Amino acid sequence: MRKTMTALLLAMTLPTLAMAAPDGDHRPGGDHGPRFFQQLDLSKDQQRQVHKLMGEQRKNDRELTQRYLDKLPAADKQALETERKASREKQQTAIRALLTPEQQKTFDEQAAKMKERKADRQAFEAWKAEHKKAG
Confirm if 14 and 91 have CB atoms less than 8 A apart: yes
The model's pLDDT over 43-52, given as tens digits with 9 standing for 90+, comes to 899 989 999 9
The model's pLDDT over 9-31, given as tens digits with 9 standing for 90+, comes to 445 555 454 544 444 444 444 44
Confidence (pLDDT) at 52: 94
3-state secondary structure the chain: CHHHHHHHHHHHHHHHHHHHCHHHCCCCCCCCCHHHHHCCCCCHHHHHHHHHHHHHHHHHHHHHHHHHHCCCCHHHHHHHHHHHHHHHHHHHHHHHHHCCHHHHHHHHHHHHHHHHHHHHHHHHHHHHHHHHHHC
What mean pLDDT value characterizes the chain? 80
Confidence (pLDDT) at 2: 56
For a pLDDT cut of 90, what percent of the chain falls above it? 55
Asked if pLDDT for residue 34 goes beyond 80, the answer is: no
Asked if pLDDT for residue 85 goes beyond 80, the answer is: yes
Model-wide pTM > 0.75: no
Residues 6+ apart with CB under 8 A from 98: none
